[in-house]
Amino acid sequence: MSYLRLLAAFFRVSLRGELAYRVNFFVQLFQSALDLGMSLGGLAVVFSFTDTLGGWRPDEVLALVGVYFLVGGIIGLMIQPGMEEFIESVRDGTLDFTLTKPEDAQLLVTIRRVDIWKLIDILMGVIVLGAALARLGGSIGLGEAAVFILMLVAGGFIIYSFWLILATLSFWFVRVENILVIFQSMYEAGRWPISLYPGWLRYGLTFVVPVAFAVTLPAEALTSRLSGWTLLGAVALAAVLLVISRGFWRLGLRRYSGASA
Amino acid sequence: MKGLAELYIQQFRTTLAMMLQYRASLLIWMIGHVLEPLVYLIVWSVVAGTGGGSVGDYAKRDFAAYFIVLMLVNHVTYTWIMYEFEYRIRHGSLSFALLRPVHPIHSDIADNVSSKVITLPFMVAVAGVLALVFRPALSPEPWAIGLFVPALLLAFLVRFLLEWTLAQAAFWTTRVSAINQTYFVLLLFLSGQIAPITLMPHPVRVLAQILPFRAMVGFPVELLLGRLTLSEALTGLGIQAAWVIIGLVLLRVAWRAGVRVYTAVGA
């Protein structure tokens, strides 16, 4: 419970900090809208030549784009800013201050930075998703919604563990921020159904960089493509990865000697 | 002229040594350059597959050829100057460049070319692997190959000059990321990176005729694919040459006005 209170406190701090730069809101709104426009424009061009894309109907791909923005927003809001700052703090030694605090250090580096403007992406994703679902017809039952949320949470934890493992590498290799660029490039591929891609790329986007778990599988849950086994597997993988990334974090921490001291 | 040539050779040597230090970073940045055209290659192949084998006058293997060549052309012509310039102005490091007796664009060109000398072999290797996987249909006429070389060179110049000019926006505003992103979305749709321009809806095709983006990427690709007649190809080269001249003029105007408002933050 105290974790949630901490999270709320960090949220308030960054909200206050950002409200000093109100124009940023409009800049971010403009950029997010542009990004969404790009996605929708691409879809419009492709679907002017076909009715289905690898078995996905236009409104189903629209739902996928909604999930893509929603999850991208969550990563940008909660995961990415903290991890970037953490990598930076290993390099310049300010991680010392985090380690001396009484709360768990992994938790602190995870939640201490939030980029509140990414809420715009989340909101846009939800709106697109809602519009897509409305157009698909009210076939979404309570069960599917629950599976979707569960899949979203599992995917979120998988992505989080993945980022934590990459960021933890900075204890050994000081310059790892470029590795995160790989994630950004690969995440772009999630705008389209992963089932389109040839096997090697599909495996890469599932197990090397887990874009599939974060974007495709939640969208599949909503369009009734997901089997119970996949869901179970995703939840199990999320749990395993959380444990592994925690172990890796502690291993890395033992190597940390503090650059500033 | 001789002085400038010597300057390029020296600058080229230093930046090549510098870029070689960042080999890993360069490779990582290339992943995006490979993945984006690859995604559209796959998407359009699937569309062609479900639509009886082709979309418009592009069959599956034509799309493969289009996007693999596009990947290479885009890589040869891209610049990162719009990010770089913002950094220079925000941190005041432009001041050092201003103290030198030559225009800063020369060292930027040398930077760009030397980074590509390092990365291009990898890109060509990737293109080779993709060619083995997707079996592109590419059999250009000899004259098309001959004209492709100047077309690629002009495409690089058009893109470099216009992006260098646009980068000057950082003199007037600190919020260039919105400008940059607008530019990149336009580039994506109007240069042929999402789909060949000929497959785009009518308004996009008209815009692509007026704006310079096709001259930066799409035109050399279509030329090598044998999609253009000889007269279309020559017209295209003329349009590219015109954009080079327009770019030079705009660059001069923007640079003169920009340096005047530059306040050298942090210096």
Q: What is the pLDDT of residues B101-158, one digit of tens each?
A: 888 888 899 889 888 888 899 999 999 999 999 999 988 889 999 999 999 999 999 9
How does DSSP classify residue B101? S
Distance CA A116, CA A120 (A): 8
Contact between B193 and B217 under an 8 Å Cβ cutoff? The reply is yes
Q: How much is the pLDDT for A138?
A: 66
What domain range includes position B138?
Answer: 2-261
What is the token pair recorded at B200? 């785009």
> pLDDT at residue A260 above 60?
no
Distance CA A105, CA A160 (A): 15
For the stretch B210-251, pLDDT in tens is: 999 999 999 999 999 999 999 999 999 999 999 999 999 999
Distance CA B82, CA B180 (A): 7
Q: What is the mean pLDDT of residues A44-54?
A: 91
Residue of A nearest to B37 (CA): A189
B46 touches chain A (CB under 8 A): yes
Distance CA A228, CA B149 (A): 55
Q: How much is the pLDDT for A8?
A: 87
Q: How much is the pLDDT for A259?
A: 62
- Residue B115: CB atoms within 10 Å: 21
Distance CA B63, CA B134 (A): 9
Half-sphere exposure of B178 (CA within 13 A, CB side): 14
Chains A and B: how many Cβ contacts under 8 Å?
82
For the stretch A88-144, pLDDT in tens is: 888 888 888 888 888 888 888 888 888 888 999 999 999 999 999 888 876 677 778
Question: CA distances (Å), B196 to each of B11, B124, B191, B224, in order?
Answer: 37, 21, 8, 13
Contact between B265 and B91 under an 8 Å Cβ cutoff? The reply is yes
Q: Exposure pattern of A23-49 as b/e (b: 16+ CB <10 Å)?
A: eeeeebebbbeebbebbebbbebbbeb
Listed by start position, the domains of chain A span 2-255
Q: Is residue B267 part of a domain?
A: no
Angle of CA points A39, A41, A45, to nearest 5°: 120
Half-sphere exposure of B240 (CA within 13 A, CB side): 27
Which residues from A are below 8 Å from B47, CB to CB? 46, 49-50, 53
Contact between B80 and B160 under an 8 Å Cβ cutoff? The reply is no
- Helix ranges, chain B (H): 2-21, 23-50, 60-77, 81-91, 94-99, 105-134, 142-167, 176-190, 202-210, 213-216, 218-224, 230-261
DSSP of A124-166? HHHHHHHHHHHHH-S---HHHHHHHHHHHHHHHHHHHHHHHHH
B200 touches chain A (CB under 8 A): yes
Angle of CA points B9, B11, B15, to nearest 5°: 120
Contact between B40 and B67 under an 8 Å Cβ cutoff? The reply is yes
Q: Is residue B140 part of a domain?
A: yes
Q: Which of B121, B86, B202, B105 is nearest to B161 (CA)?
A: B105
Most confident by average pLDDT, A221-230, B23-32, B214-223: B214-223
Q: Flag if A185 and B35 touch (Cβ within 8 Å).
A: yes
Predicted TM-score (pTM) of the model is 0.90
- Residue B112: CB atoms within 10 Å: 22
Residue of B nearest to A34 (CA): B182
> pLDDT at residue B267 above 60?
no
Residue of B nearest to A185 (CA): B32
Residue of B50, B181, B188 lying closest to A31 (CB–CB): B181
Q: How many domains is chain B partitioned into structurally?
A: 1
Distance CA A162, CA A179 (A): 12
Which A positions 14-53 lie with beta carbon below 8 A of chain B?
Answer: 23, 27, 30-31, 34-35, 37-38, 41-42, 45-46, 48-50, 52-53
Residue of B nearest to A27 (CA): B178
Picking from A49, A195, A197 by the largest number of B CB atoms within 10 A of its own CB, the best residue to mutate is A49
Q: Which of B231, B187, B227, B232 is nearest to B208 (CA)?
A: B187
Residue of B42, B189, B195 lying closest to A197 (CB–CB): B42
Helices A58-74, A119-136: crossing angle, 10 deg rounding? 160
Which residues from A are below 8 Å from B39, CB to CB? 188-189, 191-192
Q: Tokens 């076909």 appear where?
A: A50
> pLDDT at residue A247 above 90?
yes
Q: Is residue B266 part of a domain?
A: no
Q: Helix, strand or coil for residue A203?
A: helix
Q: How much is the pLDDT for B102?
A: 82
A188 touches chain B (CB under 8 A): yes
Residue of B38, B181, B194 lying closest to A42 (CB–CB): B194
Half-sphere exposure of A208 (CA within 13 A, CB side): 12
